[in-house]
């Protein structure tokens, strides 16, 4: 990685300026910035939930859960945090620490996924074969039929009018509009990751058999991208919906949704990591991509501009989580030892 | 790079409903054995042990899209083990309990197919529990039961207190004939040493090598052998009614009334079986010597007696196609007293109840040609992969100083070089456990791979 540090004069350079660090000492499972960017929540495998002041990293409060936390997500409009747990419930917390609601998953199994609707008025949770939708205060709104297998991901449409869930056998679309039928996008495989393009046109999924599958919702056309050395567990869309970055190897594979592509085109392969990718996130208007890997490095990229990394930081162990702040100016990363680091992303002068 | 750590061992516990899985599981969880165990079980509410991590899961079996038709995996295991590994400081062993009717292949294949799981977890062994009283019926009626026995590294015949010792013997022989590689143990109320279940090493190739004697156990056309001290004109073989209309037997002089004598006698007797038997009905004599006999029961019911004709006083071994208990078999003196059997042992029978599931062991000396072996194995696995449940082998590959050990589950296999041959004669041992296997074709095919 040393050539990245030394090489100068080749396009944009970004610096990751240390803001603060925290030792959570537990395997981190999920991390999120509040919509106003002032709070960071970190959920860990031991069930601990930390609320942190994002400016200095001050630990504001800790909550614990009877089982490991699987997913923590801030409401996009208010300081409400949903924290899903292996103890069979998803809890909704005020930023100030009061418990607002405890939402049970179906059948007492692990709650593994949560997602707020874009307007913050609905919260979807998945446990076992069922997804449930609640209001922020915990009133039930909807329960899906049982899926053919465990739900492995869920996401709201960007307009908030439908919920997508994945499992073995494809994607299920559950409209929140009365009278609209549910839709099934079939695929004979086990889907493990899900990302809806910000413009709402494409649903992309990673599959157990080392491929990426996507569906264009307008035409219903679907495509399969194969050849990944490992499972593409991480998927990240650029804000303009033109780039889909995917993991599944040491190189980041970026598909360009331009012209007739990505079908029949070659993806951009961003090479810089020495081991499998573990985290991907797009941040900010400048379409900066952050990647984390088992090789402990966090790299920054400008995929449309240069195939070389434009910034670097190194963690103590395998990178597990990466998340840009809502304005894209800060980046939080956590590694397998529970070491959490937050940086300011600064443009560096060239030369 | 993150340092590679020791893989977490996983034990799979399989067996029909009522075989005693839950009893064993509860014992494993409550006994002091110093291990912290995470349990993945398929039914709710059976276990409530504080210190153990118990996760309930529905078995979700799915096919992999890799062109291999029999390649199914357990999606729920991939998901749960993937989550568990993040808490690996909290436990040091994983136990997966399958449902009663489960086919064990998807569990085993999960560790071969999924790189993430395979890199963090090591399938230690498959433990199959059977109920001594009902298992014969289950074997006859259910493919799943056959598969569970075929897959087992350890097979526990439980509830032996509910059957006679003879019935237990019969069950054990039948199980061994299906799976020649497994360690078979008997138990009452699941009482077996915990370490014999949790530290099996069934998928550990190095360990497979140490268990070589089991590999080499040849198969015989008879199930039982017993040594008697006989005098000329003094003894008869006496039988009651049994399950078949005929039975093949042979009488062979031996040097000693022990294991060695029996083994040497068995090697002699095996050669008799390569020729046609001489037919005998009750009253006909059976001569010690150079042939085997087919006792024909079609016209005879009840007690049948065959004088044993021996040239001189001495030790003779009697080898019988079926176990003695199946025909109330004994050797009587002229007064009707029972002659004592001085030594006896069961033999792995090749024919055994015409099982559809059986083991084929091949032992050939010399070096194999790697290319021919690969070509042959791929062909065998392509054509019979669905019927080959497990496969293990130790090979002497031409040009390689070290033993090559490998094992497989259906079409998937995994191999690595092991310790050097050194002064040991180079030889190959290969064992297939499967359904409708053609022993001769497999042996011939493998022979053609020799240099």
Residues A106-160: tens digit of each pLDDT: 877 899 999 999 999 999 999 999 999 999 999 999 999 999 999 999 999 999 9
**Cα gap A142→A124, rounded to integer Å:** 9
Residue B204 has pLDDT above 70, yes or no: no
B2 contacts A317? CB cut-off 8 A: yes
CB-based burial label for B294 (10 Å; 0-12, 13-18, 19+): middle
Give exposure, B401-429, as e/b (b: 16+ Cβ within 10 Å): eebbbbbbbbbbbeeeebeeeeeeeebbb
**Cα gap B265→A98, rounded to integer Å:** 83
pLDDT tier at B5, thresholds 50, 70, 90: low
Nearest residue on chain B to A317, alpha-carbon basis:
B2
% pLDDT > 70, chain B = 90
DSSP-assigned states of every residue in A164-207: EEEEEEEEEEEE-STTPPPEEEEEEEEEEEEEE-TTSSEEEEEE
**Cα gap B353→B244, rounded to integer Å:** 10
Q: How far is CA A303 from the centre of its chain?
A: 19
**Cα gap B265→A76, rounded to integer Å:** 83
Q: At which residue do the structure tokens 């609640």 appear? A: A134
Q: Measured on CA atoms in the order A167, A69, A333, A315, is the torsion positive or negative?
A: negative
Residue B348 has pLDDT above 70, yes or no: no
Element (H, E) at B190: none
Residues of B in contact with A225 (CB under 8 A): none
Residue B369 has pLDDT above 50, yes or no: yes
**Cα gap B172→B157, rounded to integer Å:** 8
With H, G, I as helix, E, B as strand and everything else as coil, classify residue B85: helix
**Cα gap A36→A129, rounded to integer Å:** 34
CB A111 within 8 A of CB A80: no
Residues of B in contact with A29 (CB under 8 A): 86
A295 contacts B87? CB cut-off 8 A: no
DSSP-assigned states of every residue in B108-176: HHHHHH-HHHHHHEEEEEEEEEEETTTHHHHHHH-HHHHHHHHH-SEEEEE-GGGS-HHHHHHHHHHHH
Q: Average pLDDT of A248-266?
A: 92
The predicted complex's ipTM stands at 0.85
Q: At which residue do the structure tokens 């090598």 appear? A: B209
User: For chain B, how many residues are written?
Assistant: 451
With H, G, I as helix, E, B as strand and everything else as coil, classify residue A72: strand
Token output for A336: 């397998």
pLDDT given at position A307:
93
Distances (CA, A) of B380 to A232, B358, B377, B438: 33, 16, 5, 11
Question: How close is the nearest chain B Cα to the Cα of A221, in Å?
Answer: 20
Nearest CB among B58, B60, B64 relative to A209 is that of: B64
**Cα gap B296→B246, rounded to integer Å:** 5
Tens-place pLDDT, residues B322-334: 888 888 899 999 8
Q: Average pLDDT of B98-109?
A: 88
Query: Count of CB contacts below 8 A, A vs B?
Result: 59
Q: Up-side HSE of residue A200: CA atoms within 13 Å toward CB? A: 11
Who has greater pLDDT, A56 or B201?
A: A56
Question: How close is the nearest chain A Cα to the Cα of B24, in Å?
Answer: 24
Mean pLDDT score of chain A: 92
| Long-range pairs for B183-187: beta carbons < 8 A, 24 or more residues apart | B183/B153, B183/B154, B183/B155, B183/B214, B184/B154, B184/B155, B184/B157, B185/B154, B185/B155, B185/B156, B185/B157, B186/B132, B186/B156, B186/B157, B186/B160, B187/B20, B187/B156, B187/B157, B187/B158, B187/B159, B187/B160
Interface test with A, best of B3, B81, B83, B85 (most A CBs within 10 A): B83
pLDDT given at position B67:
62
Nearest CB among B64, B66, B87 relative to A68 is that of: B87
Residue B43 has pLDDT above 90, yes or no: no
Tens-place pLDDT, residues B242-267: 888 899 999 999 999 998 899 889 88
pLDDT tier at B219, thresholds 50, 70, 90: low
pLDDT given at position B401:
93
pLDDT tier at B213, thresholds 50, 70, 90: very low
Residues in A whose CB is inside 8 Å of some CB of B read 27, 29, 45-46, 68, 70, 86, 109-110, 128-129, 149-150, 152, 168, 188-190, 207-209, 211, 230-231, 274-275, 294-296, 317-318, 336
pLDDT tier at A301, thresholds 50, 70, 90: very high
Residues of B in contact with A27 (CB under 8 A): 86-87
Tens-place pLDDT, residues A31-83: 999 999 999 999 999 999 999 999 999 999 999 988 899 999 999 999 999 99
**Cα gap B160→B142, rounded to integer Å:** 21
Q: Average pLDDT of B396-422?
A: 88
Q: Where are the extended beta strands (E) located within A27-182?
A: 28-33, 39-44, 48-53, 59-64, 69-74, 80-85, 89-94, 99-104, 111-116, 123-127, 130-134, 140-143, 153-156, 162-175
A86 contacts B1? CB cut-off 8 A: no
pLDDT tier at B417, thresholds 50, 70, 90: confident
Nearest CB among A45, A110, A209 relative to B86 is that of: A45
pLDDT given at position B357:
87
Interface test with A, best of B86, B115, B119 (most A CBs within 10 A): B86
Residue A108's nearest CA partner among A87, A123, A124, A125 is A87
Residue A12 has pLDDT above 80, yes or no: no
A275 contacts B58? CB cut-off 8 A: no
pLDDT given at position A105:
87
A209 contacts B116? CB cut-off 8 A: no
User: For chain A, how many residues are written?
Assistant: 351
Nearest CB among B2, B63, B75 relative to A318 is that of: B2
pLDDT tier at A177, thresholds 50, 70, 90: confident
**Cα gap A249→B55, rounded to integer Å:** 30
Residues in B whose CB is inside 8 Å of some CB of A read 1-2, 55-56, 58, 60, 62-66, 73, 75-76, 78-79, 83, 86-87, 114-116
Who has greater pLDDT, A269 or A263?
A: A269
Nearest CB among A46, A129, A168 relative to B62 is that of: A168
CB B363 within 8 A of CB B428: yes
Most confident of A111-115, A261-265, B133-137: A111-115
Residue B52 has pLDDT above 70, yes or no: no
* Cα dihedral B43, B47, B52, B55 in deg (nearest 10): 20
Q: Average pLDDT of B230-251?
A: 90
A129 contacts B65? CB cut-off 8 A: no
Most confident of A91-95, B15-19, B351-355: A91-95
Residues of A in contact with B55 (CB under 8 A): 110
pLDDT tier at B212, thresholds 50, 70, 90: very low
**Cα gap B348→B360, rounded to integer Å:** 11
B83 contacts A208? CB cut-off 8 A: no
Who has greater pLDDT, B177 or A208?
A: A208
Residues of B in contact with A68 (CB under 8 A): 83, 86-87
Q: Average pLDDT of B140-154?
A: 91
Nearest residue on chain B to A296, alpha-carbon basis:
B1
% pLDDT > 90, chain B = 36
**Cα gap B404→B396, rounded to integer Å:** 6
| pTM higher than the cut 0.80 | no
Nearest residue on chain B to A319, alpha-carbon basis:
B2
Furthest-apart CA atoms within chain A: distance in Å? 61
Mean pLDDT score of chain B: 85
Range from A3-7, A9-13, A72-76, B101-105 carrying the lowest mean pLDDT: A3-7
DSSP-assigned states of every residue in A287-316: TEEEEEETTSEEEEE-TTT-SS--EEEE-S
With H, G, I as helix, E, B as strand and everything else as coil, classify residue B42: coil
Nearest residue on chain A to B113, alpha-carbon basis:
A209
pLDDT tier at B173, thresholds 50, 70, 90: confident
Q: Average pLDDT of B81-97?
A: 87
Question: How close is the nearest chain B Cα to the Cα of A27, in Å?
Answer: 6
A149 contacts B75? CB cut-off 8 A: yes
Residue B172 has pLDDT above 70, yes or no: yes
| Long-range pairs for B275-283: beta carbons < 8 A, 24 or more residues apart | B277/B248, B280/B306, B282/B306, B283/B307
Token output for A222: 């679907």
Helix, strand, coil share (%) of chain A residues, nearest 5 = 0, 55, 45
Residue A267 has pLDDT above 80, yes or no: yes
Interface test with A, best of B1, B4, B58, B62 (most A CBs within 10 A): B62
Question: How close is the nearest chain A Cα to the Cα of B412, in Å?
Answer: 16
**Cα gap B266→B260, rounded to integer Å:** 10
């Amino acid at each position: 990685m040393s050539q990245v540090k030394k090489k100068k004069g080749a396009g944009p350079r970004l610096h990751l300026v240390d803001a603060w660090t925290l030792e959570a000492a537990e395997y981190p499972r999920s991390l999120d910035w509040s919509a106003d960017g002032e709070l960071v929540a970190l959920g860990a495998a031991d069930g601990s939930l930390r609320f942190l002041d994002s400016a200095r990293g001050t630990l504001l409060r800790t909550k614990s859960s009877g089982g490991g936390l699987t997913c923590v997500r801030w409401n996009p409009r208010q300081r409400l945090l949903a924290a899903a747990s292996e103890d069979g419930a998803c809890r909704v917390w005020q930023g100030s620490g009061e418990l607002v609601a405890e939402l049970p998953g179906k059948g007492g199994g692990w709650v593994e996924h949560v997602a707020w609707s874009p307007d913050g008025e609905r919260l979807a949770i998945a446990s076992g074969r069922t997804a449930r939708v609640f209001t922020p205060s915990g009133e039930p709104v909807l329960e899906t039929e049982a899926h053919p297998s465990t739900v492995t991901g869920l996401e709201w449409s960007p307009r908030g009018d439908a919920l997508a869930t994945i499992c073995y056998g494809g994607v299920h679309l559950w409209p929140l509009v009365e009278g609209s039928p549910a839709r099934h996008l079939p695929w004979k495989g086990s889907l493990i990751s899900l990302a809806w393009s910000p413009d709402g046109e494409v649903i992309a999924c990673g599959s157990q058999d080392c491929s990426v599958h996507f569906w264009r919702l307008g035409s219903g056309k679907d495509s399969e991208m194969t050849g990944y050395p490992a499972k593409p567990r991480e998927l990240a869309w650029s804000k303009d919906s033109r780039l889909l970055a995917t993991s599944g190897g040491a190189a980041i594979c970026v598909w360009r949704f331009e012209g007739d592509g990505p079908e029949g085109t070659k993806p951009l392969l961003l090479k810089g990591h020495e081991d499998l990718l573990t985290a991907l996130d797009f941040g900010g208007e400048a379409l900066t991509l952050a990647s984390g890997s088992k090789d402990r490095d966090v790299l920054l990229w400008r995929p449309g501009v240069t195939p070389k990394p434009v910034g670097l930081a190194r963690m103590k162990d395998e990178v597990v989580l990466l998340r840009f702040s809502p304005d894209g100016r800060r980046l939080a990363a956590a590694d397998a030892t529970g070491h959490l680091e937050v940086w300011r992303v600064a443009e560096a002068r060239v030369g | 790079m993150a340092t590679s750590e020791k893989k977490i061992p996983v034990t799979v516990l399989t067996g029909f409903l009522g075989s005693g899985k839950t009893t064993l599981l509860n014992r494993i969880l409550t006994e002091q054995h110093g291990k912290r165990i995470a349990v993945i079980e398929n039914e709710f509410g059976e276990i409530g042990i504080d210190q153990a991590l118990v996760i309930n899961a529905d078995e979700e079996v799915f096919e992999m899209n890799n062109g291999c038709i029999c390649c199914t995996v357990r999606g729920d295991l991939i998901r749960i083990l993937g989550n568990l590994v993040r808490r690996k400081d909290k436990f040091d062993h994983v136990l997966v309990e399958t449902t009663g009717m489960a086919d064990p292949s998807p569990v085993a294949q999960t560790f071969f197919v999924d790189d993430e799981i395979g890199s963090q977890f090591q399938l230690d062994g498959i433990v199959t529990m059977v109920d001594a009283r009902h298992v014969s019926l289950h074997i006859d009626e259910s493919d799943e039961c056959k598969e569970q026995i075929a897959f087992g590294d350890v097979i526990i015949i439980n509830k032996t207190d509910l059957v006679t010792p003879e019935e237990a013997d019969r069950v054990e022989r039948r199980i061994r004939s299906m799976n020649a590689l497994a360690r078979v143990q008997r138990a009452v109320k699941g009482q077996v040493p915990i370490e014999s279940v949790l530290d099996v090493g069934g998928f550990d190739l190095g360990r497979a090598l140490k268990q070589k004697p089991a590999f080499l156990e040849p198969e015989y056309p008879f199930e039982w052998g017993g040594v008697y001290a006989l005098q000329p004109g003094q003894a008869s073989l006496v039988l009651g009614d049994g399950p078949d209309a005929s039975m093949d037997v042979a009488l062979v002089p031996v040097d000693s009334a022990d294991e060695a004598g029996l083994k040497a006698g068995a090697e002699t007797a095996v050669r008799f079986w390569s020729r046609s038997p001489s037919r005998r009905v009750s009253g006909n004599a059976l001569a010690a010597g150079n042939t085997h006999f087919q006792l024909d029961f079609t016209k005879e019911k009840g007690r049948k007696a065959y004088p044993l004709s021996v040239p001189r006083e001495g030790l003779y071994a009697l080898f019988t196609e079926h176990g003695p208990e199946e025909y109330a078999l004994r050797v009587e003196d002229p007064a009707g007293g029972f002659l004592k059997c001085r030594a006896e042992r069961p033999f792995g029978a090749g024919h055994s109840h015409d099982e559809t599931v059986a083991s084929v062991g091949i032992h050939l000396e010399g070096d194999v040609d790697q290319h021919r072996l690969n070509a042959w194995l791929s062909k065998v696995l392509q054509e019979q992969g669905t019927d080959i449940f497990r496969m293990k082998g130790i090979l002497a590959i031409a040009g390689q100083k070290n033993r090559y050990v490998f094992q497989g589950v259906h079409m998937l296999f995994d191999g690595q070089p092991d310790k050097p041959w050194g002064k040991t004669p180079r030889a190959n041992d290969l064992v297939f456990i499967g359904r409708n296997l053609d022993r001769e074709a497999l042996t011939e095919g493998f022979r053609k791979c020799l240099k």
